[in-house]
Amino acid sequence: MTEYKSIEVENQTYILDEDTAFDLLHNIKREFGWVGAVFCEYDIRESISGRREADGNEPYTEEQMEEAVAKVTNTRGWHRFMEEWMIEQGWDVLNNIIWEEVEYPEEQEEK
């Protein structure tokens, strides 16, 4: 069963499940021309499963997977460092694009 959550924005309350929230986020990003990544528990599960398979380990049971996901989401790395790193790397990418496309595009044409 899908878990619904109440999200309050100013004086409006929205009741969404995760799929609807992602759809809304993607539509907002497209409408405003925003870019950026969002990671969720599904991504953690997929990464754990992929790593275990690549290493030749047995898949986790649902209980083991829940515990592993909780270990990840309860870390400072998940709550702070991932976002900080994405922001920092995003600025680097943005500045490289500006350099190549705005400041010195003729250097790129020569290549």
Q: What share of the chain is helix, strand, coil (3-state, %, to 5)?
A: 70, 10, 25
Do residues 90 and 107 share a domain? yes
Do residues 41 and 21 share a domain? no
Which pLDDT score, from 0 to 100, does residue 1 have? 52
Which pLDDT score, from 0 to 100, does residue 105 have? 84
pLDDT in tens, the chain (111 residues): 579 999 999 999 999 999 999 999 999 999 999 999 999 999 999 999 999 999 999 999 999 999 999 999 999 999 999 999 999 999 999 999 999 999 988 876 776
Which pLDDT score, from 0 to 100, does residue 72 have? 98
Domain count along the chain:
3
Do residues 96 and 84 share a domain? yes
Which pLDDT score, from 0 to 100, does residue 28 have? 96
Do residues 88 and 110 share a domain? yes
Do residues 42 and 29 share a domain? no
Residue appearing with tokens 């878990």: 3
Q: Which domain holds residue 59?
A: 36-74
Do residues 48 and 30 share a domain? no
Dist. CA 3–CA 29, nearest whole Å = 23
